[in-house]
A and B are shown apart, each in its own frame.
Chain A
């Protein structure tokens, strides 16, 4: 560190400039990572926050809730394998409702669940919906921004049904729309309307889209062997199959990876150029008995100092920005994610300094003798 720090002190401008670049890149990495996290959350939090481990869907549904239809037969089979409580009906239906202050139209996703089971949403304000109540729903807090309050009416465009908001839940979105939870009898009625049947036909068994399962991987495997025409997918797969999720996350991930590679390259080029410039210095240092290891460590230390300093500043900037961003902005960056991102960034910086380390190792102490500076 003796040489590393003194050189940075001497050539301040040079190192500050490269730090500025590293700072911008690392800030962008953190920002895009936060954006990816926020978008992922807005896209899939309803599924991610479900305490299910697996979902049972129709085989040819491409793992998508909307395309899958399952019924009582599959449910009974699943319950016989994993236990009655561990397999629950799940209805998923995207629709458009009017409601709120100025009767604005809003896209929402309806979830039909057993309100007595572990699929029931956690209510943060207002009251929960029971399995016996009729026409009552628990909605995601995002709807409050549209002027929806407890007691508001949501009017479904497709079926003409109307539901009363009984309470709010939070962090429940599906494909960027707020989730609206109803009990299974309301779900039955919804499906009946959609199928064009007269109200309250007891003979009609409403299909649902998936069966949410709490099971070990071994049980899930067993179940998939026993049931034909269905697929058991993990929660992760279900999330990734939400329309737009993979595309959105994929392009953001590509940006992030590119930024990481860019940071490594920027450092690599910077250190390579200054290392080449310093070849004669390294020759002299080696001639007077400096170990290659010491010199290599010095280069690596500089890369580390640069990376750490720029990360520290960009973490502060991100914290400031996070506080300033409007709540509607999809931005989510947990300390753990920041930690991992920083570690990866530092690893990439080390990788970038490696080329120079090799260059330092190659420098011959003999260079010092018999060669004039010019």
Chain B
């Protein structure tokens, strides 16, 4: 286990749209250490999704290097990246996070199954995570029986299931009201500390910033402190 969970070295990403070139990220660098919850803010179109996709091994940068838990992503093929995402990265998306046809517990077990985790160990871990996120009594519910806040808490639990090094959240509170948004991010922050992991969260929600360790703004293709 390394202290640096995520390392971005001079990441540049250029989109080609016909003849025009659009440099969305311009030599962006970032280091996130274990136990840190970092918030990334920025207006629409500033490149937050691009940043998160590159850091989350979903998109390759035009230049620059990404290291997850000390492991460089350079030169990995699609399958290797998919495997890396499964084992080392947790994701929480804006919405439609959960599969409508899986019960809460099954959402977590699916991830364990994909990773070939031992079934007994997986059941124990899933119960532990659901317990910590206050969802144990909802474990047999389908997503359509859950509130928005509960859904995002299940998403957090699922993201932790495979014991990833780092967790990426894409506006996790966008579809929640203020107090539920606070709850969800508070739990996220608590899990980061409890598991000694790191998390990067893209957000527009000012009310959750006090729960974060660092707040960065994406401006002109780089991240700057507020």
Contact = CB atoms under 8 A, between A and B. Distances in A.
Interface of A: 2-3, 6-7, 9-11, 280-281, 284-291, 294, 365-366, 368-373
Contacts of B85: 287-289, 365
Q: Which range contains the number of B residues in contact with the other chain?
A: 35 or more
Interface of B: 48-49, 52-53, 56, 58-59, 79, 82-87, 89-91, 93-97, 99-102, 106, 110-111, 113-115, 142, 158-159, 170, 174-175
A290 B94 contact: no
B58 A288 contact: no
A370 B49 contact: yes
B82 A286 contact: yes
Contact of B106 (A6, A280, A285, A289): A6
Given A2-B110, A366-B58, 18 more contacts: A3-B102, A3-B110, A6-B102, A287-B58, A287-B91, A289-B84, A290-B86, A290-B114, A366-B59, A368-B93, A369-B93, A370-B49, A370-B170, A371-B94, A372-B174, A373-B94, A373-B95, A373-B96
Nearest to B170: A369
Contacts of B49: 369-370
Q: Which among B87, B90, B110 has the greatest number of chain A C-beta atoms within 10 A?
A: B110
A6 B53 contact: no
Contacts, number: 86
B111 A288 contact: yes
Given A10-B142, A289-B86, A290-B114, A280 B96 contact: yes
A373 B87 CA distance: 26
A11 B170 CA distance: 29
A35 B104 CA distance: 51
Contacts of B100: 10, 281
A7 B99 CA distance: 9
Q: Which among A281, A286, A366, A370 has the greatest number of chain B C-beta atoms within 10 A?
A: A370
B93 A284 contact: yes
Contacts of A7: 99, 101
B114 A370 contact: no
Contacts of A288: 85-86, 90-91, 111, 114, 158-159
Contacts of B142: 10
A281 B83 contact: no
Given A3-B110, A10-B100, A288-B91, A369 B58 contact: yes
Contacts of B91: 284, 287-288, 368
22 contacts: A2-B110, A2-B113, A3-B99, A3-B102, A7-B99, A281-B99, A284-B96, A285-B99, A287-B85, A287-B91, A288-B91, A288-B111, A289-B82, A289-B87, A289-B114, A290-B86, A291-B79, A365-B82, A366-B58, A366-B59, A368-B93, A370-B52
A11 B49 CA distance: 33
A288 B99 CA distance: 12
Contacts of A290: 82, 86, 114
